[in-house]
Structure 1
Amino acid sequence: MKVYVTSVGTSPEAVFNPLWFLVEVYSWVPDKIYLFWNDEVTDVLNKVTELIERLKKAYNVDIEIIADESMKFSEENPIEFRDKVSSLLQSLRREEVIVDITPGRKFMSALMLGAGMINNVEEIVYLHLQDFRRYMGRLLFEIPMVEQQLFFKEHLTGKRGNVKFPGRKKDEPQEVKIRREDLMAVINSMYIDGEDVFTVKVGNALVGRVRLDKKVEFTVPSFIDLNDDVHGNYNLVKEALIAGGLAKFRNWDELISLIRTLRASKRPIYIGFDTNALYFMVPSKILEDPRFRERGNLIVDFVYSDEVAEEVGKKLNQKLPYGREYGEFSNQPTPKARLAMLGSIELEKIKMLGAERTKSKEIAEGDTKIALDYKVFAEEKDANVIVVTTDDTAYSEMEAYSGTGLIPFKLEWEFSFGSTLEGTWEELRDSIYTLAVLLGELKVGKYSILGIWRGKNHRDWRDETVKVRNFEYSRILTMLK
């Protein structure tokens, strides 16, 4: 019989993730799980139990959870905890036992390690999370695998364990619909399977070469052979990598410094966006950057120009022709419409957060009208309105109204074909998403990712979903739902 023994601390993920690691990566499934707990963590215990129940369904396994009163101890009495752990392990000496010392307070880990050694259990594990503050509260496959390492008895004590792990198992390949965030599970799976170097293609056209390490390296070819109605041209690759975050804005920190400086004036601070800033997903980047928050709350408000909303809307309904030769892309959005859809979803995000709409009464259009819209709003609100753009012309139009409260800010990117971009796993995840939806389809290593398909609706765009073909580990996605 296979037995797993651990304690419950203040984080349900810290309790569950080592178990999930063993089940998914090593195909080691316990018959019984013993959970030591106390009165301070009853809510966590319930959450852990729920996660194990989800795992049982996702992996179609039967696991008995033992967390009754006999497993309860007083945190103020470490001796009681030691004695209970030792007594349990003594009773399990004939079984294949793995003791996990990851969760709980330091004294729990120390005492469980000691008890495991004295009773010569088959294996002892500890899941180390390198950037604890950043990833605390997340499940195993929501975290870049490079940030996690499962240490075994040999690492911890110098004495080898006795468990023979069968190794990772594949399910029948499936086509799965997943959200942008869950693409991390796909990248993690490739990394676990040893695919830490792979290509990104559209058809036979190479878009990039990826190397997974602590940082991601994405090498862009000097020439990309894309120029058709279905996939767009090579410039769309650049726009996708900027929107996804692998191609950086070199003056992003200056935007944050500007906001901090303006806060001293005590005037309200709003951020508005030019149309191209929406295409490059600048609102999402602001929302995901913790430096734009204090105590969990945004330090700015949002505003959007009526003209910007109209510019985005005009392109949304552009579609490719009907035709068998277009396959999945028949009557689907054109590359320009897909770019506009990214902007439209960005608008929806800030509207959900209460963004205000501004519209001037001046007769104008384009960049001039956008500048006037934000100028009027700044004057009416007696506020500082930072308008983010990536376009020189738009910046010049807005700069003409400096002094009214309108403060244009031009973001400048770092990108050139033939270069190697360096970034985080999250930036790779998001760039795979933007490449897939803007180019329509993508080959990432052995997987095909569809950003466009027949029947894709507004909810799919709003939820930032793509389809992944031939994914052999759909059980992971079941766990993440």
Structure 2
Amino acid sequence: MMDEIVTPDELQILLNLADEVRISYPLYRGDLLAALPEGARYRIEMTASREDYHAWLLQFGEIADELPSYSDLLECMLASGIIRYANQEAFDEMLQTYRRLKKDVYFGLDTNVLYHRFVSTNPHISPSSCILVNTVSDEIAFAVNRRYSAQKIAEITAYAPEQAAIIGELENKRTKKSRKAAYLAMREYRAIRDRAIEITAPAAHSHRREENDLTIVRALRAFEDERYALPVLLTADTYMADICDAEGLEYFLFERPYEIRVTSCRAGEFVRLLFNLAAVFGVVRCNDVHIFGEYGGKGSSLEDLKLRFSGGGLHEAFGRELKICRRLTALGIER
């Protein structure tokens, strides 16, 4: 076995060495999806259905919550920009209406919208038009550092002893909930916070979600009262929409798609998807290479991934291309 530590962008080197890409999860039987390069795009085939995920999870009893679900895959697709909310077109039309108003319009971001990386994947929304209530960042920070104990890793390994080496990489690493918080929500927060407007909520962060939701809405209402501006909360949570109705705050409620319906995507979107899957699932297999989002010895950088090669030929080819790309990058040259 041979390992390489890489950045998300360097995953493209691995993809360039394959005529076809098949993504799987080591503990499941069967591929999650397949992709074929077509120019600057990838043609995608979703080889596993919602029912397949349900059947896989049934085999893992009480540890199933820590394994990838169809909903997790859908979130990774949203965060990669490959699929959109079911009512995204209605929002795009509403956006044009907002821009015709005499008031400045700002978009308050609910926590779930950060998990879906909505701003990063939508060029029509500028971070400078977004509001981040500190309660949102507190919610993410609270979720980001839950880790697996040795006992929990042993419980997972008992269901798949043949994958003990793979599962063992996750000991003292983030749980699935924390991986989502770190690699989706926290990365989105960091990407936009320098340009967004950050405001302080009228109440401290609570460990009760309902209280935090009310605090976020009231912080945005206070922002509206203090400025000649219209804050619009963007959320994918119906409960949050109910609070907005009760408090008199403008909002847009996004609808998550039920099924993943996609046939192709841009190359950059597919690279983001591969990173998101490795990060949220903990590890995925890309053809014969394991990609670890979390692994033993990983430092503090959220950007690092570990590739584990099973054969020398592919590893040599990858290593050669990786060296060339890193040298060109150091010289300021894009390949």
| Root mean square deviation of aligned Cα | 2.7
CA distance in 1, matches of 2:132, 2:290: 36
Q: Deviations over 1:6-62 (max 9, x none)?
A: xxxxxxxxxxxxxxxxxxxxxxxxxxxxxxxxxxxxxxxxxxxxxxxxxxxxxxxxx
Structure 1 counterpart of 2:32: 207
Structure 1 counterpart of 2:44: 217
Q: Deviations over 1:282-339 (max 9, x none)?
A: 13213xx2x34xxxxx484221123222221221121110257441100111000111
Does the aligned pair in 2 maintain the 1:177–1:465 contact within 8 Å? yes
User: Pairwise mapping of residues 190-339 of structure 1 onto structure 2 (< 5 A)?
Assistant: 190=18, 195-196=19-20, 198-205=21-28, 206-213=31-38, 214-222=41-49, 223-224=52-53, 225-226=56-57, 228=63, 230-286=66-122, 289=123, 291-292=124-125, 298=126, 300-322=128-150, 325=154, 326-339=167-180
Does the aligned pair in 2 maintain the 1:230–1:320 contact within 8 Å? no
Does the aligned pair in 1 maintain the 2:6–2:306 contact within 8 Å? yes
Name which structure has the greater RCO, CA cutoff 8 Å, separation 6+: 2
CA distance in 2, matches of 1:182, 1:411: 33
CA distance in 2, matches of 1:176, 1:357: 41
CA distance in 2, matches of 1:305, 1:275: 10
Deviation, structure 1 residue 449: 0.8
What is the TM-score with the length of structure 2 in the denominator?
0.76
3-state SS of the aligned residue for 1:452? coil
Structure 1 counterpart of 2:17: 189
Change (3 A) 1:217 1:257: same
Change (3 A) 1:209 1:313: same
CA distance in 1, matches of 2:281, 2:198: 32
Which of 189, 192, 212 in structure 2 is aligned with 1:347? 189
Change (3 A) 1:234 1:307: same
Does the aligned pair in 2 maintain the 1:201–1:444 contact within 8 Å? yes
Q: Does 1:392 align with 2:238?
A: yes
Deviation, structure 1 residue 219: 0.7
Does the aligned pair in 2 maintain the 1:303–1:358 contact within 8 Å? no
CA distance in 2, matches of 1:250, 1:349: 25
CA distance in 2, matches of 1:407, 1:177: 45
3-state SS of the aligned residue for 1:433? helix
Structure 1 counterpart of 2:323: 475
Does the aligned pair in 1 maintain the 2:22–2:33 contact within 8 Å? yes
Aligned residues: 289
Structure 1 counterpart of 2:158: none
Which of 271, 281, 289 in structure 2 is aligned with 1:447? 289
Change (3 A) 1:421 1:319: farther
Deviation, structure 1 residue 434: 0.8
Structure 2 counterpart of 1:178: 6
Change (3 A) 1:468 1:266: farther
What is the TM-score with the length of structure 1 in the denominator?
0.55
Q: Deviations over 1:254-309 (max 9, x none)?
A: 434333322222322222211111111113213xx2x34xxxxx484221123222
Does the aligned pair in 1 maintain the 2:42–2:270 contact within 8 Å? no
Could you list the structure 1 runs, at least 4 aligned residues long, displaced by more than 4 angstroms after superposition.
323-326, 361-364
Which of 445, 463, 466 in structure 1 is aligned with 2:305? 466
Which of 368, 371, 377 in structure 1 is aligned with 2:223? 377
Deviation, structure 1 residue 178: 2.5
CA distance in 2, matches of 1:248, 1:211: 21
Structure 1 counterpart of 2:157: none
Q: Deviations over 1:413-443 (max 9, x none)?
A: 33426x5543222222111111110000010
Find the structure with the greater CA-based Rg.
1
User: Pairwise mapping of residues 130-209 of structure 1 onto structure 2 (< 5 A)?
Assistant: 175-190=3-18, 195-196=19-20, 198-205=21-28, 206-209=31-34
The amino acid across from 1:475 in the alignment is K
Change (3 A) 1:467 1:203: same
Structure 2 counterpart of 1:410: 253
CA distance in 2, matches of 1:234, 1:316: 22
Gaps of 5+ in 2: 155-166, 310-314, 331-335
Change (3 A) 1:469 1:361: closer
Does the aligned pair in 1 maintain the 2:106–2:229 contact within 8 Å? yes
CA distance in 2, matches of 1:345, 1:415: 25
Change (3 A) 1:381 1:358: farther
Change (3 A) 1:220 1:449: same
Q: Percent same amino acid at aligned positions?
A: 21
CA distance in 2, matches of 1:351, 1:300: 9
Does the aligned pair in 2 maintain the 1:230–1:329 contact within 8 Å? no
